[in-house]
Amino acid sequence: MRRFRRALIAALLLLPALPAAAQDRFITLASTTSTEQSGLFAHLLPAFTRATGIGVRVVALGTGQALDVGRRGDADVVLVHDRAAEEAWVAEGWGGPRRPIMYNDFVVIGPAGDPAGIAGLTDTAEALRRIAAAKAPFVSRGDRSGTHAAELRLWRQAGLDPAAGRGAWYREVGQGMGPALNTAAAQDAYLLADRGTWLAFRNRQSLRILVEGDQRLFNQYGVMVVSPARHPHVKAAEAERFVAWLAGPAGQAAIAAYRIEGEQLFFPNAGRPGA
């Protein structure tokens, strides 16, 4: 709980200054570290505020913690990337409906020396089996984030449970994507990262993308308004307007326009059935 409170306070202190009107009229968005650390929100949210006069205050946490913030009614809307957890959250009555908004992909990052010999593979399960067999250092976020959930799912698909009787090679940091990347860079370790945060990351040292292109690395984001029936203070009308803007032409175009060094980080797909 203390760690959560510190993270919440730190996230609020990092918020950019809002125009005076938006300071009076705002919503709180609980979202992932990947959307914040990739720079997407710094690009996206001012456009929404200009269009609507509604400010957005972001609390950036792992997906599991962001959903918990919504459960407590400490946010008006959540934007995360763990479909199973999102659907369970909606089914439990905490809010919804779930709206798909955009996607990108995960990549397996590792040192250029590649002691596990995974470079160029497109089978993530085989890559993880080789890392485990070599007992090569692997950094896990270990923070109940969408990325952490995806990592654990990929280990299961590889037929492995690195947390069971693991050795020193498997290292949980309990932090967001940026700190996990910094740890991997310092330790010449492998890890699973979302491509958006990787592209925005500068302290790469010897790290490289080694595995990509596997369909299992697809990374979908969804957005949901917190239930005003559970939490009457929720700013449902403003939150619904935010979701409608994200899913509409202006929001989808703004997502597609965000690039780093010419490379698109997120791909809008609000109209895609089943996303």
What letter does residue 245 receive in the DSSP assignment?
H
pLDDT (tens digit per residue) in 175-204? 999 999 999 999 999 999 999 999 999 999
Output the pLDDT for position 4: 42
- Reported as type and span, the H/E element at residue 156 is helix 146-157
Instruction: Please report the pLDDT score of residue 62 as a whole number.
Output: 92
| Rounded Cα gap, residues 260 and 265, in angstroms | 7
Torsional sign, CA 57, 269, 260, 47? negative
Structure tokens at 228: 């005003």
Task: For each of the domains in the chain, give its residue range(s) and CATH number, in order of start.
Answer: 2-103+220-268 (3.40.190.10), 104-217 (3.40.190.10)
Taking 70 as the pLDDT cut, the residues of the chain under it are 1-23, 165-166, 274
**Quick one: angle between helices 63-72 and 146-157, nearest 10?**
130
